[in-house]
């Protein structure tokens, strides 16, 4: 039998209709008098692995001429796949990693949008894959590439991504099937036929044009232009102070000002600027520091630390109108359609004490008996913010930010910030690079609850090495290594290993 099957692999996430797409292709192949075999291997969960659908197509007439049916494989083999359909950019990368996409054979049809994996979302540091680098990798590995934002195309046509993938496949010409047969499969399904056909045709035309431009959403970047006029007269003095800082640092500082105002108020932004200005004055005194690396690193980290996540912040964010709008868009609710949001919250005694006035919160934590009694009532809670009572509970807590400066958590974090800034000042004149790395290491301290405690412990472990690092010419390099190790795993094994190497313990 001289002819070979056409091999096609679909990599689709849960809920994206990969099974529907496979069923459509089976129906289309049979209507075109092709033998078809389909198998699938489900992923472990929605974002820890896509479901892989594998199909092989062979013309029935060729099998009849040969007098026997073809032997078809149950799983794709590296280097032997004619077409890969990927419903998301990272899944296209996974297909390449498995060897399913090859420059001499494979047509890759993929969406350029991102649906972040569990690993990316839960990473202790910046865990997201670089989208631009991933796109360049995809461009270099396929024989032919069809790449555009298929999620946007589906949403614009009020359809689903499986219809878009089917249209892109039809337009690519990989399968020798008629367009009418593709459309008939959608019609036969009887589900959202008009919308699915519109999405199909949109994608088919884009595929025929050979669209392969990157249209996914890149990570937002700060604008290099700082405005001359503030939104209100009251905020103009803050903007004027930003504009007196080194030009390279102004965009970061301006974003920090906006963040702390949103978090607290303009008075808090003044404190932020006072701290940044003190670092700017220090940088001017440091010989050969002209890169402004210290002020940029400190301003970025300071803005994050001064807007630490406490129960007040969490409640505020969960009851903002913008959040309800975002959720409505994500679930694609129709105008006027009702939907509900259930918040799963589990505040610990420490979070409750941190929200109280400093004296009362300290008294609570110093009383083991009271902490034990209160701990019995701190189990998981489900609060429905779509109800009046649930919304008002969180909204009232979020409104407590006017008293945040008096809370125990604010007092603790403010003291830690002052100590951190003090160490930066102490190091800067003699060990400028080490001071910059200390400023950057703040990103270990984030989140709330156990996440925050773990990050703070790691940060303290690293800060405890500063005296030793200040005696070494490669101290800044070592601090960077410790910083990255602390982000490598939650258990802290990588950090302990690096600390052992630093102290000569193997």
The 10s digit of each residue's pLDDT in 396-407 is 999 999 999 999
* Domain end call among 390, 406, 422: 406
H or E element that contains 84 = strand 83-86
Q: What is the pLDDT of residue 129?
A: 72
- The count of structural domains within the chain is 4
Q: What is the pLDDT of residue 122?
A: 59
Q: Can you spell out the DSSP letters for 392-422?
A: HHHHHHHGGGGGGGGBHHHHHHHHHHHHHHH
Q: What is the pLDDT of residue 385?
A: 83
Residue 219 included in any domain: no
Q: What is the pLDDT of residue 24?
A: 94
Same domain as 179, residue 66 = yes
Distance CA 152, CA 147 (A): 12
Same domain as 237, residue 110 = no
Same domain as 233, residue 270 = yes
Residue 155 included in any domain: yes
Same domain as 55, residue 174 = yes
Distance CA 193, CA 198 (A): 9
Same domain as 484, residue 446 = yes
Q: Residue 504's Cα: distance from chain center in Å? A: 37
Residue 480 included in any domain: yes
Same domain as 145, residue 68 = yes
Burial class (CB in 10 A: 0-12, 13-18, 19+), 382: exposed
Distance CA 277, CA 288 (A): 19
Same domain as 264, residue 199 = no
Q: What is the pLDDT of residue 48?
A: 47
Burial class (CB in 10 A: 0-12, 13-18, 19+), 230: middle
| Nearest to 276, CA basis, from 328, 241, 225 | 241
Same domain as 329, residue 285 = no
Strand stretches in 327-388, DSSP E: 342-345, 381-384
Contact 455, 446 (CB under 8 A): yes
Distance CA 186, CA 192 (A): 9
Task: Look up the CATH number of the domain holding residue 200.
Answer: 3.40.920.10
| Nearest to 87, CA basis, from 157, 13, 140, 175 | 13
Q: In 10 A of CB 68, how many CB atoms?
A: 9
| DSSP structural state of residue 233 | G
Same domain as 135, residue 13 = yes
Same domain as 130, residue 42 = yes
Residue 351 included in any domain: yes
Residue 72 included in any domain: yes
Q: Flag residues of the chain having pLDDT under 70.
A: 1-2, 14-16, 43-49, 117-127, 210-224, 287-290, 332, 505-506
* Domain end call among 277, 304, 331: 304
Contact 111, 132 (CB under 8 A): no
Residue that is written with structure tokens 């905020």 in the block: 235
Contact 120, 185 (CB under 8 A): no
| Nearest to 109, CA basis, from 69, 143, 73, 156 | 143
| Structural domain range at position 450 | 432-506
Classify strands 83-86 and 107-111 as parallel, antiparallel or unpaired: parallel
Residue 189 included in any domain: yes
Contact 151, 111 (CB under 8 A): yes
Residue 415 included in any domain: no
Q: Residue 476's Cα: distance from chain center in Å? A: 29
Tokens representing residue 101 in the block: 């996409």
* Domain end call among 272, 304, 336: 304
Residue 437 included in any domain: yes
Same domain as 260, residue 196 = no
Please name the residues in contact with 160: beta carbons below 8 A apart, sequence gap of 6 or more. Answer: 16, 17, 154, 192, 196, 199
SS3 percent helix, strand, coil of the chain, rounded to 5, is 55, 10, 35
Same domain as 320, residue 297 = no
3-state class (DSSP) for residue 40: strand
């Amino acid at each position: 039998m001289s002819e070979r099957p056409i091999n096609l692999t679909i990599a689709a996430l849960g809920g994206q209709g990969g099974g529907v797409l496979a069923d459509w292709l089976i129906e289309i192949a049979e209507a075109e008098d092709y033998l078809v075999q389909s198998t699938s291997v489900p992923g472990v969960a929605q974002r820890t692995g896509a479901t892989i659908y594998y199909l092989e197509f062979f013309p029935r007439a060729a099998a009849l001429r040969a007098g026997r049916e073809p032997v078809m494989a149950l799983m794709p083999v590296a280097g032997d796949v004619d077409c890969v359909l990927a419903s998301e950019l990272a899944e296209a990368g996974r297909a390449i990693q498995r060897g399913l996409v090859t420059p001499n054979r494979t047509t890759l049809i993929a969406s350029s949008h991102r649906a972040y994996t569990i690993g990316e979302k839960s990473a202790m540091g910046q865990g997201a894959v670089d989208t631009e680098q991933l796109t360049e990798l995809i461009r270099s590995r396929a024989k032919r590439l069809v790449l555009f934002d298929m999620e946007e195309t589906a949403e614009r046509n009020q359809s689903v991504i499986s219809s878009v993938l089917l249209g892109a496949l039809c337009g690519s010409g990989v399968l020798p099937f008629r367009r009418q047969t593709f459309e008939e499969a959608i019609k036969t399904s009887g589900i959202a036929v008009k919308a699915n056909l519109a999405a199909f045709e949109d994608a088919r035309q884009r595929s025929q044009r050979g669209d392969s431009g990157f249209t996914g959403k890149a990570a937002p970047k700060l604008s290099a232009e700082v405005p001359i006029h503030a939104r209100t007269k009251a905020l103009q003095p803050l903007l004027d102070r930003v504009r007196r800082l080194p030009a390279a640092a102004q965009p970061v500082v301006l974003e920090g000002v906006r963040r702390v105002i949103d978090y607290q108020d303009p008075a808090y932004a003044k404190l932020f600027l006072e701290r940044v200005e003190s670092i700017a004055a220090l940088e001017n005194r440091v010989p050969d520091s002209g890169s402004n690396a210290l002020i940029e690193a400190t301003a970025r980290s300071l803005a994050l630390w001064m807007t630490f996540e406490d129960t007040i912040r969490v409640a505020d964010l969960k009851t903002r109108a913008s959040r309800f709008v975002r959720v409505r868009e994500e679930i694609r609710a129709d105008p006027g359609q009702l939907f509900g949001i259930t918040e799963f919250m589990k505040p610990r005694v420490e979070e409750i004490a941190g929200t109280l006035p400093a004296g009362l919160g300290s008294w609570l934590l110093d009383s083991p008996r009271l902490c034990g009694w209160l701990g019995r009532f701190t189990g998981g809670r489900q609060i429905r913010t779509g109800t009046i009572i649930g919304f008002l509970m969180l909204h009232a807590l979020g409104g407590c930010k006017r008293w945040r400066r008096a809370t125990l958590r604010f007092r603790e974090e403010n003291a830690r910030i002052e100590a951190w800034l003090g160490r930066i000042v102490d190091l800067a004149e003699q060990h400028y690079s080490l001071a910059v790395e200390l400023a950057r290491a703040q990103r270990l301290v984030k989140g709330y609850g156990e996440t925050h405690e773990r990050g703070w412990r790691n940060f303290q472990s690293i800060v405890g090495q500063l005296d030793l690092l200040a005696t070494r010419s490669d101290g800044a390099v070592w601090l960077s290594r410790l910083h990255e190790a602390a982000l490598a795993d939650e258990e802290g094994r990588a950090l302990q290993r690096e600390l052992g190497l630093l102290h000569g313990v193997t």
